[in-house]
Structure 1
């Protein structure tokens, strides 16, 4: 899909994401809820929420759809 690669988020500084942030992003993009993601990762729901807030801030992303597009473009 060329639209994914044309978005500014596909060119975002992804290396700035911590490994746990990338893992969180992968779970959310796969359709997991915050609680399911927390259980898979052995974290609290609040920690998952904090990771996602940091990702959104770092990459200037406002919606779960944008997060999902980013994850797909990264192959997560």
Structure 2
């Protein structure tokens, strides 16, 4: 479980990671069928997945690229 910054909690918390199927790009039925046929004949019969992160404290979804906010430390 990665430690990520949660915007709802406003602190770094543990997050659970889940995989979700990517949305299809084609909106029409013939477009989807053409995409499926191309993947089938090329041998790529799997779904593209994307990772999502959910806060363990408040269960809000976080962006996967969110990190702890950086603060500038003044050098004296």
Normalized against structure 1, the TM-score is what?
Answer: 0.22
Q: Which has the higher contact order (CA 8 A, sep 6+)?
A: 1
Q: Rg bigger for which structure?
A: 2
User: Hey, which of these two has a bigger chunk of strand by percent?
Assistant: 2
User: Hey, which of these two has a bigger chunk of helix by percent?
Assistant: 1
Normalized against structure 2, the TM-score is what?
Answer: 0.22
